[in-house]
Amino acid sequence: MRLRSLLSLPLLLSLGACSAVVLDPAGDIAVRERDLLLVSTYLMLLIIVPVMALVIFFAWKYRASNKAARYEPDWDHSTHLELVIWAAPLLIIICLGAITWASTHLLDPYRSLGHVKQGEPVAASTKPLDVEVVALDWKWLFIYPEYGIASVNEMAAPVDRPIRFKITASSVMNSFYIPALAGQIYAMPGMETKLHAVINHRGEYDGFSANYSGAGFSSMRFKFHGLDDKGFDAWVAKVRQADAGLDRARYLELERPSERVPVTHFSQIDPMLWDAIVNMCVEPGKMCMGEMMSIDRRGGLGLEAAHNTAPLTYDKNGRRGSTVLAAKDAYVLSICTPTDDGRGGAGVQRAEAEPKPGSGAPMTGAGLPRLPALSALTALTTPLNRSPSNS
């Protein structure tokens, strides 16, 4: 007995070092999620505990050595027992279903917060803090558009102020998760997910990726600081003192895979960077997804579409600066609704004419220089345009 106690001592010591942050969160959304977890557990225990107790009771009462136990080999049915066996789990399932349905709507991450904490509604004059989150390989980028700053592997927010997250990724799917703040939300390239949350207590909390994303996944962690108003203003002022700014060129360098990246601050940001990241067209000359969808919505570019849009698709790090079909001889015939000139600016004028599939007019797209000859692209498209008599 003494030996068994000594062997279990290391296990007890290891459990003492655990931090049950999920059961002791610091944000209102995480608290409500914790309560949902506990209520669901208690409801299930109403069935599990009696069943486990009855298993032990019947095993003891009807043991082979108990000769006083009733022996009824012909018994096969009891209406009362059937009602208890089926009614109790059915009531539990109904309760769980009702709670799950209500919580699915009340805790929808896209739903704006109605309360800062229990019994304290959000004031009408309160403006949410906008934070744009980008899951990179293997680090986190946080952009504060209201303040014109950004940081890597560190974020901060004032206590009792609603936070409105916009979340995306640069390559593979990730999962943005701060256990003390709210539940995890997936980050996917070319898509924007949202999360509304609030932190109610000052402190430093851990954030990380909850979805495996490659070799550097284990070190894809960051610190989240819950600060009072003065502390948050001081943090913003500290970030604004950084020497570096975050433009498109700097982002393309930051986007490359790297591990254990130290905390980095950027005092200025390109106001169009977030839209370019979501549309996967940060690199100059890349066609944005919004432009591709606009072309598709209008019926496409016809035969030229494959040779003009494929070279501009997002090619991440492997072919950055090159194209899919040709290295230098690809060009765009026309673009319906250009949103970016490929050099970091905005407000490019719309094309005066609609696309004319099959015209072959060598018009250039936004930010792309006009080429003197079709060369390799002509060689690719000419066989497709031949008539049957010339085949």
Instruction: Note the pLDDT tens digit of each residue in 335-344.
Output: 444 444 444 4
Last residue of a domain, one of 278, 313, 347: 278
Mark which of 241, 261, 278 sits at the end of a domain: 278
Tell me the per-residue pLDDT of 79-101, one tens digit each, with 9 for 90 and over: 888 998 899 889 999 999 999 99
Q: Report if residue 40 sits inside a domain.
A: no
**pLDDT at residue number 130:** 96
Residues 313 and 376 in one domain: yes
Where among 245, 278, 311 does a domain terminate? Answer: 278
Residues 180 and 311 in one domain: no
Q: Say how many residues make up the chain.
A: 391
- pLDDT of residue 154 exceeding 70, the answer is yes
Q: Are 251 and 353 within one domain?
A: no
Domains in the chain, number: 2
Per the domain annotation, does 95 fall within a domain?
no
- For residue 113, being part of any structural domain is answered with no
Range of the domain at 184: 120-278
**pLDDT of residue 380 exceeding 50:** no
| The CA-based dihedral angle spanning residues 56, 58, 64, 65, taken in that order and rounded to the nearest 10 degrees | 80
Which residue is listed with tokens 């790297």?
A: 258
| CATH number of the domain that residue 129 is part of | 2.60.40.420
pLDDT bin (cut points 50, 70, 90) of residue 378 is very low
322 vs 312: CA distance, rounded Å = 9
Q: 102-118 pLDDT, tens per residue?
A: 999 999 999 999 889 88
Fill in the DSSP letter of residue 369.
Answer: P
What is the C-alpha to C-alpha distance for residues 197 and 181, in angstroms, rounded to an integer? 7
Q: Quick one: pLDDT at residue 253? A: 93
Q: Which residue has the higher pLDDT, 122 or 350?
A: 122
On the question of pLDDT at 325 being above 50, the answer is no
Note the pLDDT of residue 349: 39
Q: Beta strands of 118-271 (E only): which ranges?
A: 120-121, 129-136, 139-144, 149-152, 154-158, 163-169, 174-177, 185-187, 193-197, 203-209, 221-227, 264-266
Contacts 24+ apart (CB under 8 A), 379-386: 380/307, 380/325, 380/326, 381/303, 381/304, 381/307, 384/303, 385/303
Q: Are residues 263 and 345 in the same domain?
A: no
Q: Average pLDDT in the 170-184 region?
A: 92
Is residue 129 domain-shared with residue 253, that is, in the same domain? Answer: yes
Helix (H, G, I), strand (E, B) or coil at 341: coil
For residue 281, pLDDT over 60 is answered with yes
Residue 381 has a pLDDT of 41
Identify the pLDDT of residue 389: 39
pLDDT band at 149 (very low <50, low <70, confident <90, very high): very high
* pLDDT at residue number 120: 87
> Does the pLDDT value for residue 7 go beyond 60?
no
- For 44, other C-beta atoms within 10 Å of its C-beta total 14
Cβ neighbourhood burial of 257 (10 Å; 0-12, 13-18, 19+): middle
Q: What is the mean pLDDT of residues 314-322?
A: 54
As a whole number of angstroms, the distance between CA 366 and CA 130 comes to 30
Phi, psi angles (nearest 5°) of residue 134: -125, 120
Question: In percent, how much of the chain has pLDDT > 70?
Answer: 72
Q: Say yes or no: 214 and 327 in one domain.
A: no
